Amino acid sequence: MPTARPQKGDVFLIRGYYVTMATLTEHIIKLTDHRDREHLELTLSKALIDLLRIDRVVIARVVSEEGVKRWLEVASLDVRGGGKVVDPLRVDFHTLSKLEDERYRFQCLQSRGLAEHAWAGEEGPRISYVPLFSDSATEEEGVIEVHSGSSLTVGQLQVIADMVHVFRNMYSLLAYSDRDALTGLLNRKSLDDTFYSAVLEEMSHGLESETNTLQADVLPVSERRHRVPPNYWLGTVSVDHFGAINDRSGHLIAEEVLLLVARIMNNTFRTYDRIYRLGGEQFAVLMHCPEEALVLAAFERFRANMEKFNFPQVGRVTACGGFTRVTADDSPSTTLERSERAVDYAQRNGHNQVYSHDDLVRKGFFDDAIKVGAIDLF
């Protein structure tokens, strides 16, 4: 006789733990249906809450600034539906817990295995810590906190492992499509795809539903533009005299220079700033910062780090930077156009400089009219 097809309410024993086929399939589909890595952690949290009947899930990622590492809770969800998703661009880094101050998270990170904190006795409620990433799939670090009324069963731990495996696979696939093949930085496609969602206002009223949480992905462009909050900045960087470096030293050495520039950018800017390679010798940074002076200081640090670095077989290499505030009516092209004008001004006035486009407008060097497409970004 033919085997009966699974029905919506059927319950299956999977890895020693009972789950409904509908629930399991639903969450696998949701995890593999994303085209944006920003929402994977929330979807994973929802899946674990539904599948395991636990109290709460918190996903914490490691972020760093100037060599100091801290914990950022990017997503949290509890069984009653309350929770939050944090935009990494909008956090105050100095308010976050240092890596070593969260003992059990740190232990999980170091051991790359399960850690437990039975905070009310061995038979009572506890927090179980599971690595978010494997040691080989990515350089990124994070942990999943599972809050439960008692110790997790072998079956529950296996369900967690399976869902995290799906998460890691999707994260790697999306990261591959978002990354520049040479430098590993985010690519221009990623900037275009994530520009609006990256600068949307952080949720302030909790998560009414997963649909509402993810609605930014499906909003029309015209509606997204009017939700752009203040204090986002987009800057571009161009390596000075890169054509001469390529002609003099050859293509392979020129590529090595770009790799080192990418490394200097990663070491200079914050881990939650978005760093892109636009193509050729051009790079970009999307960041959230309360003051223009702080943005200028960040780009000046990068410029100084470039200037003092000794590039093998090339020696001294400098770069120019320009940045602008993101406005409510912006698109990636209009914002890049303004920052490129500031870079062009720096290159025409001596190289190895950083300028704010907004400041150049205030000083009368530019008018505020932008003709999109006047500069070839590729």
pLDDT below 50 — which residues of the chain?
1-18, 21-22, 137, 200-229, 372-378
Q: Where are the domains of the chain?
A: 11-178, 210-362
- Identify the CATH number of the domain defined by range 11-178: 3.30.450.40
pLDDT at 199: 55
Superfamily of domain 210-362: Reverse transcriptase/Diguanylate cyclase domain (3.30.70.270)
**What SS3 string covers the chain?**
CCCCCCCCCCEEEECCEEEEHHHHHHHHHHHHCCCCHHHHHHHHHHHHHHHHCCCEEEEEEEEEECCEEEEEEEEEEECCCCEEECCHHHCCHHHCCEHHHCHHHHHHHHHCCCEEECECECCCCEEEEEECCCCCCCCCCEEEEEEECCCCCHHHHHHHHHHHHHHHHHHHHHHHHHECCCCCCEEHHHHHHHHHHHCCCCCCCCCCCHHHHCHHHCCCHHHHHCCCCCCEEEEEEEECCHHHHHHHHCHHHHHHHHHHHHHHHHHHCCCCCEEEEEECCEEEEEEECCCHHHHHHHHHHHHHHHHHCEECCCEECCEEEEEEECCCCCCHHHHHHHHHHHHHHHHHCCCCCEEEHHHHHHCCCCCCCCCCCCCCCC
